[in-house]
Amino acid sequence: MKVLVPVKRVVDYNVKVRVKSDNTGIETSGVKMSMNPFDEIAVEEAVRLKEKGVVTEIVAISMGVAQCAETIRTALAMGADRGILVETDVDLQPLAVAKLLKAIADQEQPRLIILGKQAIDDDMSATGPMLAALLGWSQGTFASKLTVEGDTITVTREVDGGLETVALNLPSVITTDLRLNEPRYASLPNIMKARKKTIDHKKPADLGVDPTPRLTVVRVDEPAKRKAGQKVGSVAELVNKLRTEAKVI
């Protein structure tokens, strides 16, 4: 079974995000970039399925500027077999990404697509469900555990009330949650091997997709700074401040 794993290049999660001085977006110039953490989990799960003999080929896909090839190389070092880079300078939004992934899926004919439930730069959680809708496939979102048996995949997903287990017929789109697994570190030999693995380069036009954004970002601002707290000497003083100053009781 072939599996596709989309991976997104984002600002590294250890980096403090800064807003551009003109408030048009997030500053990425000179900032460390890395693979979206949820996508790392997706790659790890695909590799584990391959180690179990369920998956025969893993194709890592990234979209954006040329530097996204580095993100694909990371996935290849973790265990993916080959990569596809859809190169564009356009700021891709979830619907455009979903359309591009559908076009690639139509060409590659996978039985399973695993991707992170969300990207840490926009937190939209939209690409996976959009892709499943465009393909007409079953979907298991926020997966914390999954098992593949024949043409059925069982997904344990996290919901507000606890855990929900669903059985899906393949082909399917799965979005990964944090508790699905712990991604491995790529070993030096695998990093060296990844350099020899192939990455196919495509353009959105090659896939028949217009990636022009449908939404316009008007302005980006940093969150308002929190006011300093106050120390109180007793419960009575706390209650008095809540009643007279905060007016919440």
pLDDT class of 76 with cuts at 50, 70, 90? very high
Query: What pLDDT score does 199 carry?
Result: 95
Show Cβ contacts of residue 101 under 8 Å, excluding neighbours closer than 6 positions. 4, 6, 61, 113, 127, 131
If residue 105 lies in a helix (H) or strand (E), which one and from where to where? helix 94-108
The CA-CA-CA angle for residues 95, 221, 123, to 5°, reads 35
| 154 touches 140 (CB < 8 A) | no
| Mean pLDDT confidence for 168-175 | 96
Instruction: Work out the pLDDT band at 122, boundaries 50, 70, 90.
Output: confident
Q: How far apart are CA 229 and CA 72, in angstroms?
A: 45
Please, are residues 197 and 167 in contact by the beta-carbon 8 Å criterion?
A: no
Q: How many Cβ atoms sit within 10 Å of the Cβ of residue 11?
A: 19
- What is the rounded (10 degree) CA torsion for 72, 73, 78, 84? 40
pLDDT given for residue 229 in this prediction: 82
Residue 88 pLDDT greater than 90, yes or no: yes
Q: What is the pTM of this model?
A: 0.85
Residue of 248 and 238 predicted with greater confidence: 238
Mean pLDDT along residues 169-180? 94
Question: E strands along 134-215, which residues?
Answer: 138-149, 152-159, 162-169, 172-176, 199-202
What does the alpha-carbon distance between residue 52 and residue 95 come to, in Å, rounded to a whole number? 33
Averaged pLDDT for residues 57-61:
97
Strand 152-159 vs strand 162-169: parallel, antiparallel, or unpaired? antiparallel
Q: What's the CA dihedral at 103, 108, 112, 118 to 10 degrees?
A: -40
Per mean pLDDT, which range of 8-12, 19-23, 58-62, 116-120 is the poorest?
Answer: 19-23
Predicted confidence band of residue 50 (pLDDT cuts 50, 70, 90): very high
- Is 3 in a helix, a strand, or coil? strand
**């949650």: which residue's tokens?**
177
Q: Is the pLDDT of residue 24 over 90?
A: no
Q: Helices 37-51 and 68-78, interaxial angle, to 10°?
A: 30
Look at residue 111 and tell me whether its pLDDT is greater than 90.
yes
Question: What is the overall mean pLDDT for the chain?
Answer: 93
For domain 2-244, give the CATH number. 3.40.50.620
pLDDT of residue 249: 83
Q: For residue range 197-218, what is the model confidence (pLDDT) as tens digits?
A: 999 999 999 999 999 999 888 9
pLDDT at 204: 96
Nearest to 201 by CA among 79, 107, 61: 61
How many degrees, rounded to 5, is the angle at CA 138 between CA 133 and CA 140?
Answer: 105
Q: Is the pLDDT of residue 70 over 90?
A: yes
Span 31-51, average pLDDT: 95
